[in-house]
Amino acid sequence: MSGMLYIVAAPSGGGKTSLVNALLESNSDIKLSVSYTTRPPRSGEVDGVNYHFVDEARFHQMVGDGDFLEYAEVFGCFYGTAQATINTLLKQEIDVVLEIDWQGAQQVRKLMPACRSIFIVPPSRAELERRLRGRGQDSEAVIARRTAEAVEEMSHYGEFDYLVVNDDFNSALADLKAVFRSRRLEIAVQSEVLKTQLSQLLE
């Protein structure tokens, strides 16, 4: 039995990172894939923990070598997911989470169609705008642009396997955990995990 690859995507303001962090804290059998990026580290970020920080020459070499499961350019910086890292974790029977956008999700599905994908949305447009304003970092023009981008991202929700509404955080986290739990209860997985117990039951 191997682990499962899960894609988790959301628009800016959807609360994806907070939910994923809470999920990881509650289950040691789930790991977050650490992406490669060409953007400089932000305050408090650690290489190899938040991202693998590389220069553009190294990143493009990895693209040329076919190292990435998916990659994209976002606001002038490149981001990518190393396929070897994913495969190593899956072989160790660890479930892996990819935090990527809908475009990256499309790339991953083509190469790993067995993966599961989850899209997280805010409860309303008004709440989305409130969250974007709550950061206190952006001008109204930037907020308007981010809102428009979020609406475009949310239009792709139908491409995903699961949809989680992040209204109440604890409820949304419970829904997210349920997706992971349900897969582990599938007959193919349980038959392997409980092989001895099932054999004894049927003697």
pLDDT for res 159: 97
- Residue (of 119, 115, 203, 114) closest to 155 by Cα position: 119
Q: What is the mean pLDDT of residues 101-119?
A: 94
Distance between CA 38 and CA 117 in Å, rounded?
26
Which residues lie below 8 Å from residue 65, measured CB to CB, with a gap of 6+? none
Q: Which residue has the tokens 């991953």?
A: 108
Q: What is the enclosing helix (H) or strand (E) of 110? A: helix 102-111
pLDDT for res 43: 87
Q: Do 38 and 129 meet the contact criterion of CB atoms below 8 Å apart?
A: no
pLDDT for res 128: 87
Q: What is the CATH number of domain 5-201?
A: 3.40.50.300
The model's pLDDT over 67-87, given as tens digits with 9 standing for 90+, comes to 999 998 887 899 999 999 899
Q: Which residue has the tokens 């220069």?
A: 55
Tell me which of 201 and 74 has the higher pLDDT.
Answer: 201
- Residue (of 157, 127, 108) closest to 13 by Cα position: 127
pLDDT at 126 > cutoff 70: yes
**Global pTM value:** 0.87
Q: In a 3-state reduction of DSSP, which class is residue 21?
A: helix
Q: In a 3-state reduction of DSSP, which class is residue 82?
A: strand
Q: In a 3-state reduction of DSSP, which class is residue 35?
A: coil
pLDDT at 136 > cutoff 80: no
pLDDT for res 143: 83
- Among 18-32, 92-106, 122-136, where is mean pLDDT lowest? 122-136
The model's pLDDT over 144-194, given as tens digits with 9 standing for 90+, comes to 888 898 999 999 999 999 999 999 999 999 999 999 999 989 998 899 889
> How many Cβ atoms sit within 10 Å of the Cβ of residue 143?
16
